[in-house]
Amino acid sequence: MPEIEIHGFAQSSYVRTARMVCIEKGVPHELVPLDFQSEAHRALHPFLRMPVLRAGDLVLYETLAIASYLDESRDGPALQPGDALGRARMLQWISASMDYVHGTLLRPFLTVETLSAEQRAAARGNLEVVDRALADGPYLLGAQFTLADLFLAPMVGFAESRPEFAELSEGLDGLAAWRETIWTRDSFRRTLAE
């Protein structure tokens, strides 16, 4: 039995991020489905969200806390820059992904059949920002693959499954190259299959 349990739903972008970190670090883990919004769920996460990491008596919630803990406490390639400015830029992109990209690429796609013109413009605008950031690619922080890429990848991956995505991402060559690079990673492929 793996030492690490990740509680949540396989389709959740944040659960995928936590699992991708495990895979990138070479940490065996088990995905444990949640009885969503139950008292058992509340016992693990007082705000009834996911993912939750459980390792023996340790229970951690919130994706950034889980990802940082796994990166800093386990062997394997470093997923955070070693310098203060690099870490700040990584956190900037994690925050932007959670606050802006998630709101334009996931939330609307989950709630409406067809995006409005306003929703399309917001999604396209955010994808253009990401595309510009990838000019020095192949990753959000240039040559270094970081947690920032692992936060953004499931969001873009989900959006890509929608028919509107081809139009929304048209001509964004940096984003296309990043997707091609990320989509070949074992962590992305293994978490997509479920």
CATH at 111: 1.20.1050.10
* CB proximity list for 30: less than 8 A, separation 6 or greater: 1, 2, 4, 5, 6
pLDDT at residue number 110: 82
Answer whether residue 79 is part of any domain: no
Look at residue 78 and tell me if it is in a domain.
no
Lowest mean pLDDT among 60-64, 108-112, 163-167: 108-112
Same domain for 111 and 69: no
| Whether 78 contacts 141, CB under 8 Å | no
- What does the pLDDT average to over 30-38? 95
Determine the pLDDT at residue 2: 81
Q: Which amino acid is at 37?
A: Q
pTM summary value:
0.96
pLDDT tens digits, 143-191: 999 999 999 999 999 999 888 999 999 999 999 999 999 999 999 999 9
The stretch 103-124 carries a mean pLDDT of 89
69 and 95 part of one domain: no
Q: Which residue range forms the structural domain that includes residue 43?
A: 4-73
